[in-house]
Amino acid sequence: MEEKRMDYLKDTSYAIAKMRMKYDEMDEKTVYKKGIEKGMRKGVKKGMKQGIVQGMVQGIVKGKVSLLKELLRQKWELTENDEKVLDDLNEEEVNEIVQVLNRINTPKDLHDQLKKLSDSKHQAENHAQFAFSQD
DSSP letters of 58-76?
Answer: HHHHHHHHHHHHHHHHHHS
Q: Residue 11 — very low, low, confident or very high, per pLDDT cuts 50/70/90?
A: confident
Report the distance separating Cα 9 and Cα 7, nearest Å.
Answer: 5
Our CA dihedral for 23, 29, 32, 37, rounded to 10 degrees, sits at -120
pLDDT value at position 125? 60
Give the mean model confidence (pLDDT) for residues 72-84: 85
Tens of pLDDT, residue by residue over 20-67, are 888 888 888 888 888 888 888 888 888 888 888 888 888 888 888 888
Beta carbons of 66 and 78 less than 8 angstroms apart: no
Amino acid at 8: Y
Percent of the chain exceeding pLDDT 90 equals 0
